[in-house]
């Protein structure tokens, strides 16, 4: 976060709620960052949270007494809970456990934190943190929907290794990412949330998107890769989330923040991206392959750094083919009752339409987004892009040319077209 954006938080009255997750240790860093940004911070901890981090730590970091109980006459004599509810401009709960989310979704007020949430008109945000199976559970997803409808903004969760040994969505966003989300205007909202009166045509759908490059190691210090920045794929993820979808973003190595409400899985190689895609696409409605996947990898990765050999002017590397991720997902579609709709990209430097049509056919895609990556200021690394969309759906074949525009706008058009294809495709 830049100093300028941190200043936008100065003086903001933030009530930081902490519930009982292992991620509670990160809340100390979050409290510190909030204070550094000039926020006024009051901390409320649930009973269970105190098993993970002590109120004393938070008190030392914020310089304010930490509230832990609704029925505490001494604390109530200071700032009563209703006063505290009125004081807060923002209620930020991090971590928010599955249990706390369930209680809030039900409108319960059985401890201080839930009571404050009911009693306060403040802007409300939470950073969920739980085991991946708990996050995916239909009951939790139902609560996510309900909380979003009630005006909660969900920050994350992120995806990756979990404390319990599982891998998947449910990790609390890092404190720095939560800080970045805090300064976003309300329109940048998480999946399933009513977009301030906007339409949510993707509500209830699961969209999986690959983004960025892959890295194929040659030795411990070198790799083969390409210039993809991830911007196009991340813009697609943000657009799908804004339209109400649950979004799983599988990203190669990029330096971009995760869009609000998007579950992110980080990978390095094409084979890792392939594995994550197969796992997540198993229950998705739309799969979009925007990643620039390396077609080849080194047949053998050297255990030690490859050395220059005196007298030899050339070095030969033997490369072998990587799996074609999107073609495999399209095959999966053929065996699982017509799901998902598969959207590919084609990065071309000549004969855009010819090569794109060939990929549409050969990889058995429903739609392809063809971009000319030889045009300066568009495609790889740029903020803008232009594309030719080709598709076939229940109404036959179609096409549209999208002129140069910001990737965020192009992404929205692509998602809307994919939703159109999904609606009109024949039922299998």
Which among 90, 80, 93, 11 is positioned nearest to 44, based on CA atoms? 93
Q: What track of x and - describes contact with ligand PMT for positions 362 through 391 (by CB under 6 A)?
A: ---------x-x-----xxx----------
344 binds ligand PMT (CB under 6 A): yes
Q: Degrees (nearest 5) of the Cα angle 9, 13, 16?
A: 100
Contacts with 276 (C-beta within 8 Å, 6 or more apart), sequence order: 250, 265, 267
Minimum separation from the CB atom of position 162 to ligand PMT (A): 27
347 binds ligand PMT (CB under 6 A): yes
421 is catalytic: no
Distance CA 382, CA 377 (A): 6
The phi, psi pair for 64, rounded to 5°, reads -130, 150
127 binds ligand PMT (CB under 6 A): no
Q: Which helix (H) or strand (E) holds 243?
A: none
Minimum separation from the CB atom of position 413 to ligand PMT (A): 13
Q: What track of x and - describes contact with ligand PMT for positions 205 through 244 (by CB under 6 A)?
A: -----x-x---------------xxxxxx-----------
Distance CA 132, CA 161 (A): 10
Nearer Cβ to ligand PMT (39/368): 368
Minimum separation from the CB atom of position 201 to ligand PMT (A): 23
Minimum separation from the CB atom of position 351 to ligand PMT (A): 12
CB 427 within 8 A of CB 338: yes
Binding to ligand PMT, residues 297-326 (CB under 6 A): 322, 324-326
Nearer Cβ to ligand PMT (64/328): 328
CB 119 within 8 A of CB 81: yes
Binding to ligand PMT, residues 391-420 (CB under 6 A): none
CB 370 within 8 A of CB 387: yes
Contact residues for ligand PMT, defined by CB under 6 A: 210, 212, 228-233, 270, 289-293, 295, 322, 324-326, 344-347, 359, 371, 373, 379-381
């Amino acid at each position: 976060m830049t100093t300028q954006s941190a200043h936008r938080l100065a003086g903001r009255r933030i009530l930081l709620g902490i519930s009982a997750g292992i991620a509670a240790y990160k809340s100390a860093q979050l409290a510190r960052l909030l204070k550094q940004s000039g926020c006024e911070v009051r901390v409320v901890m649930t009973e269970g949270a105190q098993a993970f981090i002590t109120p004393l730590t938070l008190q030392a970091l914020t310089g304010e007494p930490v509230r832990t109980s609704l029925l505490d006459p001494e604390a109530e004599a200071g700032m009563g809970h209703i006063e505290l509810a009125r004081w807060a401009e923002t209620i930020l709960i991090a971590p928010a456990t599955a249990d706390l989310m369930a209680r809030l979704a039900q409108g319960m007020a059985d401890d201080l934190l839930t009571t404050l949430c009911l009693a306060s008109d403040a802007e409300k945000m939470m950073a969920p943190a739980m085991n991946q199976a708990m996050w995916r559970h239909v009951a939790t997803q139902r609560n996510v929907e309900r909380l979003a409808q009630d005006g909660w903004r969900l920050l994350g969760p992120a995806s990756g290794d979990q404390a319990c040994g599982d891998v998947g969505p449910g990790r609390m966003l890092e404190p720095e990412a939560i800080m970045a989300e805090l300064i976003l205007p309300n329109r940048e909202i998480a999946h399933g949330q009513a977009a301030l009166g906007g339409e949510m045509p993707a509500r209830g759908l699961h969209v999986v998107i690959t983004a960025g490059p892959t890295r194929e190691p040659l030795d411990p210090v070198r790799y083969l890769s390409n210039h993809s920045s991830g911007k196009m794929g991340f813009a697609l993820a943000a657009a799908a989330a804004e339209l109400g979808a649950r979004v799983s973003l599988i990203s190669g190595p990029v330096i971009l923040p995760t869009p609000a409400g998007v579950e992110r899985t980080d990978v390095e190689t094409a084979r890792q991206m392939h594995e994550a895609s197969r796992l997540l696409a198993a229950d998705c409605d739309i799969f979009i392959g925007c990643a620039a996947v390396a077609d080849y990898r080194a047949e053998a990765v050297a255990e030690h750094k490859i050395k220059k050999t005196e007298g030899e002017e050339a070095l030969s590397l033997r490369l072998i083919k990587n799996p074609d991720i999107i073609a495999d997902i399209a095959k999966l579609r053929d065996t699982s009752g017509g799901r998902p709709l598969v959207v590919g990209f084609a990065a071309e430097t000549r004969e855009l339409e010819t090569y794109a049509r060939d990929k549409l056919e050969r990889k058995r895609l429903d739609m392809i987004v063809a971009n000319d990556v030889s045009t300066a200021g568009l495609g790889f690394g740029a903020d803008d892009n232009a594309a030719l969309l080709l598709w076939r759906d229940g109404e036959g074949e179609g096409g549209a040319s999208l002129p140069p525009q910001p990737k965020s706008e192009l992404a929205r058009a692509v998602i809307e077209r994919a939703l159109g294809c999904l609606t009109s495709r024949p039922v299998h």
